[in-house]
Amino acid sequence: MNIRQLQYFLAVAAELNFTRASERVNIAQPALSAQIISLEEELGTALFTREKRKVLLTPAGEILVEHAQRVLNTASAAMAAVRASGRGAQAHLMVGSIYTAIYCFLPNTLRLFKELAPHSDVSLQEMTISQQINALKEGAIEVGLVRGHIYDHSIVTELLYRELLVVAVPAGSEYDVPDAVELKELATWPLIAVARGTATERGYGDRILDMFEDENCKPTIAKEAHDMHTSACLVAAGMGVAVVPAIMQLMQPLGVAYRPLNAQTPGVSLSLAWHKDRVPALLGPWREAARANAAKLIEKHPQLFLDTSRQQVVEQET
């Protein structure tokens, strides 16, 4: 068994189609099939059931998916650490982050971190919250930047701040006026809603739609987006309005204006996250840099935040 075979196996497991999987990994289908057969012979069990028009994972194949992904993540982490060492770094940190934090929070955090840990290197990936949770469990990242409550006992979070929510509207449209927006009025506007999460992984979209339910009003959903930056793009295109974290105002996307939201809400949080059983060696300086940057943001833009006292809360989620 080798890394290449595991990559081929995961491609077939994802596509459940040998033709599409071969295109995904850029090899001929007969060669891909031969690699999977070789892997099955080595393991002594079938990984897929193959019918004329259907490919399915066997129970053994389902088990291998989880382990194969973990092996590839570990190999990727090892490569990143070795390459960082080749650049002179003595330590390496793998970070996952939501989109808004990459643009509004991470640049200065990275600068502060480099001052605290000058001989270190950082690998950064944009990820959704659910992707970060999975990546923390699998070892693909060591620390994440997430929003909201994490319903997983293996993940520890530290609250950095809570932001106010604002309404993003198309610049120059009928909605682009300076007054605050009432929630019942907002319910009549074409809303670009971020999709709800699952029963076990509630996300940003759930918290926004719950606001309307709490006020016994039903939003007029014009479109559904899978992430916040897609919803901002749709707002800029004049396709509706969206409820977004106030820090989005610092990004200033073209064609988008912002209005205050006149509603009692818990805001939206930004937190550090890491796995309780895999505390990274560089967590200390990373937390210090993140805390310092959060304090600077609150001091510079207090109007964006719900609680300017910013007392850190560290918890193991249950």
pLDDT tens for residues 10-62?
Answer: 888 888 888 888 888 888 988 988 989 988 888 899 998 888 778 888 989 88
Segment among 76-80, 139-143, 295-299 with least mean pLDDT: 76-80
Q: Of all residues in the chain, what percent carry a pLDDT higher than 70?
A: 87
Residue 256 has pLDDT above 60, yes or no: yes
Query: Is 179 in the same domain as 206?
Result: yes
* CA–CA–CA angle 239, 242, 244 (5° rounding): 145
Final residue before a domain boundary, out of 70, 101, 120: 70
Same domain, 275 and 262: no
Of 23, 71, 18, the closest CA to residue 49 belongs to 18
Mean pLDDT of 99-121: 90
pLDDT at position 318 is 39
- Answer whether residue 54 is part of any domain: yes
Residue 237 pLDDT more than 90?
A: yes
Residues 171 and 257 in one domain: yes
- The pTM for the full model equals 0.68
96 plus 140 within the same structural domain: yes
- The mean pLDDT of the chain is 85
pLDDT of residue 202: 63
pLDDT of 79: 64
Q: Residue 145, Cβ neighbours under 10 Å: how many?
A: 24
Q: Does the pLDDT of residue 188 top 90, yes or no? A: yes
Output the CA torsion 72→139→66→35 (10° steps): 0
Same domain, residue pair 133 and 41: no
What is the rounded CA–CA span in Å between residue 202 and residue 164? Answer: 19
| Domain shared by 253 and 204, yes or no | yes
Is 81 within a domain? no
In a domain, 283, yes or no: yes
| Same structural domain, 156 and 277 | yes
Q: What pLDDT is stored for residue 116 in this prediction?
A: 93
Domain coverage including residue 300: 89-162+269-316
Residues 191 and 114 in one domain: no
Q: How many domains does one find in the chain?
A: 3
Q: Per-residue pLDDT tens for 54-95?
A: 888 898 988 888 778 777 666 666 666 566 555 554 568 999
Mean pLDDT calculated for residue range 263-269 = 83
For residues 80 and 302, give the distance between their C-alpha atoms in angstroms, rounded to a whole number: 38
